[in-house]
């Protein structure tokens, strides 16, 4: 039996991450080229949890007066799914329960109504993204317009929608103390509206991931 050191484990994981990252970039570059040739809209999708407990971020305050956030300690949260396009559009849905295959398909239906022509959708390898419900949706006719591309493992930085969630939580909702989940839902939707009016921010997330605009 061979035992590897922790350092060797870390080196192995880093090597796999680097390899996945390079393979992922080449695959996505081919997908982007194919989408350009077919006139398809490229969409990145990601799910996220938005918690009632606020995300504390650095802010301004009078000298000697440390700002305080007074909120009950809770793990209550909303589940959300979003999609962004290369030209700076944002789509978002929110629900109380965790997302499953059926909820994902409902979001895909909305995307196909909002977007014209073919759609190349890129997301991670979550089981809810390639389960029976999604496959049946594709087989029922959605595959004529919708193509799904899976991001490689170890490469979340290839999904610019991750950057949008970081911006929503840290910039738009940082230090926000919602009173309950209904208030949080309202604030999240308002934050999404503000981001929709900032297409440069959305496009910047795609550039940060190395995609051509």
The token pair that represents 86 in the structure block? 């290369």
In DSSP terms, 121 is beta-bridged to: 43, 148
Tell me the whole-structure pTM to 2 decimals.
0.80
Architecture of the structural domain at 8-208: 2-Layer Sandwich (3.30)
Note down pLDDT in tens along the chain; length 213 residues: 233 334 444 444 444 555 555 655 666 667 777 777 788 999 999 999 999 877 655 665 577 666 666 767 677 899 999 999 999 999 999 999 999 999 999 999 999 999 999 999 999 999 999 999 999 999 999 999 999 999 887 666 789 999 999 999 999 998 788 889 999 999 999 999 999 999 999 999 988 887 765
């Amino acid at each position: 039996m061979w035992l590897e050191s922790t350092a060797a484990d870390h080196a192995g994981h880093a090597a796999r991450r680097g390899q996945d990252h390079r393979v992922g970039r080449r695959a996505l570059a081919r997908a982007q080229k194919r989408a350009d040739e077919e006139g398809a809209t490229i969409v990145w999708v990601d799910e996220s949890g938005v918690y009632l407990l606020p995300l504390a971020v650095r802010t301004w305050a009078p000298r000697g007066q440390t700002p305080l956030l007074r909120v009950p300690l809770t793990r209550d949260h909303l589940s959300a799914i979003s999609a962004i396009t290369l030209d700076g559009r944002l789509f978002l849905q929110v629900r109380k329960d965790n997302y499953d295959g059926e909820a994902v398909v409902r979001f895909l239906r909305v995307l196909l109504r909002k977007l014209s022509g073919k759609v190349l959708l890129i997301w991670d390898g979550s089981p809810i993204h390639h389960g029976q419900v999604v496959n049946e949706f594709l087989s029922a006719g959605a595959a004529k317009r919708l193509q799904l591309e899976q991001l490689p493992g170890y490469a979340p930085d290839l999904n610019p929608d991750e950057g949008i969630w970081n911006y929503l939580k840290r910039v738009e909702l940082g230090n926000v103390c919602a009173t309950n989940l209904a208030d949080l839902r309202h604030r999240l939707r308002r934050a999404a509206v503000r981001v929709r009016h900032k297409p440069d921010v959305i496009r910047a997330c795609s550039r940060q991931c190395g995609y051509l605009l």
